[in-house]
Homo-oligomer: A and B are copies of this chain.
Amino acid sequence: MFETAELHRSLPKATYEKLLPELRSNLLRVQNELYQQKKFPVIVIIGGVDGAGKGETVNTLHEWMDPRYLETHAFGPLSDEERERPDFWRFWRTLPPKGKLAIFFGSWYTRPLLERVYGKTPHAEFEEALHRINAFELALAADGALILKFWFHLAKKDQKKRLKSLEKDPDKRWRVSPEEWKHFKLYGKFYKVCAQALRVTSTGQAPWTVVEGYDAPYRYTTVGQHILEQIDKRLQPQTTSVSPPAAPPSDTALRLRYPTILETLDLSQQLDKSTYDQEMAALQGRLHVLARHATLKQVSSLLVFEGWDAAGKGGAIRRVTRALDARFYCIMPIAAPTDEEKAHHYLWRFWRHLPRAGRVTIFDRSWYGRVLVERVEGFASEAEWMRAYPEMNDFEAQLVEHGMVVLKFWLHISKDEQLQRFKEREATSYKQYKITAEDYRNRERWEDYETAVNDMVERTSTEYAPWHLIEANNKYYARVKIVQTFCQSLEKRLKG
């Protein structure tokens, strides 16, 4: 959930200053249009870890935007007026009217999160609080409200660094109280509780945007730009038809490229053939025993393979299946849906093929097509792929609760490596059929796919079914890591 916000994304000061005038004038423009049209209110929620720059971001937004149509609400201890009413009263009274934007710095999330972290509420009560929040936001969204939720995140060591540097600065020392350090000590607990909260409350109508708090210009522009784009989009006359996304503006300063989670992978990982042969043989032996054991214990497994064209999914799958008994596994290659599948909800075709007890099912591409190719190519509308994230999380939760081992692999290669593999395939007679013009066309959308993968990891890498990102420029390295991961997961599950 937070992996994508530990990338040290940053924006050089010069670029920041260059794009600022355009961003600011655009924000003022949409604010004014919003106010003139008075069609819907905008609710901006700012949450996240201490020291990630939440307060500074709110102040910056105030500097940039028109104060007449903007209000910020912070929530301290309950006033007696508030204590005498139900919890949500303080929030209802501060909701913005149509045409205005309100920033909630601290919100309906704060109290349930803190009480859960401090162990004051049991798990079930926490879940109930999250469902109540969903009902609240659904009611507002159904009424037309645009809800933008930002979660500021920092890696643990970055948070520590930041708190220390604030303490050293005489002007900023006041920002760090003993409470911040107390929270820091509970970092792991916060991480877990917040990840769950974000997963449950990232709905189609009110999704979270995770913002990395590492660099100030980055976080300001990310939040500002997202607010701008979302209001702008909503102000346009609504069309319900599905059309491919417009090509990105050619040369606007606002279209910045930031590193995605994929760029954190070290693609220079190597493994030579002889080490590979040795390790793979050992791993397959180990997997074979584990798989037999799993069959006996009626534990089933479900493996998902996603990745770039020519990233080596097929080869990796074969290395897994070689260790398995053919009676107990099946491979589901996912191509275009059949007529019958098209006549159902997109998850239906995957539910059909769930493994029986003790079996292994391997999906070569999967339901994630919805938020990858269907998103990038415009086959699904934004509303459709946005609501797919929580649907897929809930789907996988049901598998894991049932006792299944669920493993999701993304095989990552560089763009250059892909080109080389395409060429090799074209030169090999029995591999030529694998390469079509479409494969080359897909390369043109490389950056869009990177963004889609990043969002997918941000929204669907859960504690119970995390994404395993595999460095696959070296096939040997990738295959070993995959079989190893499967072995480890089975071992853990069989012990448990």
Which residues of A are in contact with B by a Cβ distance under 8 Å? 38, 41, 81, 83-89, 92-93, 95, 97-99, 124-125, 127-128, 131-132, 135-136, 139-140, 142-143, 145, 204, 298, 300, 340, 343-348, 351-352, 354, 356-358, 387, 390-391, 394, 398-399, 401-402, 404
Q: In the complex the two chains form, is B204's CB within 8 Å of A142's CB?
A: yes
Selected contact of A344 from candidates B95, B135, B136, B402, CB within 8 Å: B95
Q: How far is the CB of A38 from chain B (nearest CB, A)?
A: 7
A123 to B98, CA, bound (A): 39
Q: How far is the CB of A53 from chain B (nearest CB, A)?
A: 31
When C-beta atoms are compared, the residue in chain B nearest to A84 turns out to be: B357
Q: How many monomers of this protein are in the complex?
A: 2
Q: With A348-B92, A351-B89 in contact, do A38 and B99 touch (Cβ < 8 Å)?
A: no
When C-beta atoms are compared, the residue in chain B nearest to A100 turns out to be: B343
Q: In the complex the two chains form, is B38's CB within 8 Å of A343's CB?
A: yes
When C-beta atoms are compared, the residue in chain B nearest to A204 turns out to be: B142
A387 to B135, CA, bound (A): 11
Q: In the complex the two chains form, is A84's CB within 8 Å of B300's CB?
A: yes
Q: In the complex the two chains form, is B398's CB within 8 Å of A354's CB?
A: no
Selected contact of A86 from candidates B97, B346, B347, B401, CB within 8 Å: B401
Q: How far is the CB of A389 from chain B (nearest CB, A)?
A: 12
Q: How far is the CB of A102 from chain B (nearest CB, A)?
A: 11
What B residues does A98 contact at CB under 8 A? 343-344
Q: In the complex the two chains form, is A345's CB within 8 Å of B401's CB?
A: no
What B residues does A358 contact at CB under 8 A? 84
Closest 3 pairs between A and B when the two form their complex, measured CB to CB:
A124-B124, A97-B343, A92-B351
Q: In the complex the two chains form, is B345's CB within 8 Å of A398's CB?
A: no
Q: How far is the CB of A196 from chain B (nearest CB, A)?
A: 13
Q: How far is the CB of A394 from chain B (nearest CB, A)?
A: 5
Q: List 9 A-B contacts (CB under 8 A).
A: A38-B343, A41-B344, A84-B298, A86-B399, A89-B351, A98-B343, A99-B343, A135-B391, A139-B387
Q: In the complex the two chains form, is B86's CB within 8 Å of A402's CB?
A: yes
Q: How far is the CB of A387 from chain B (nearest CB, A)?
A: 6
What B residues does A135 contact at CB under 8 A? 390-391, 394
Q: In the complex the two chains form, is A92's CB within 8 Å of B347's CB?
A: yes
A223 to B132, CA, bound (A): 32
What B residues does A298 contact at CB under 8 A? 84
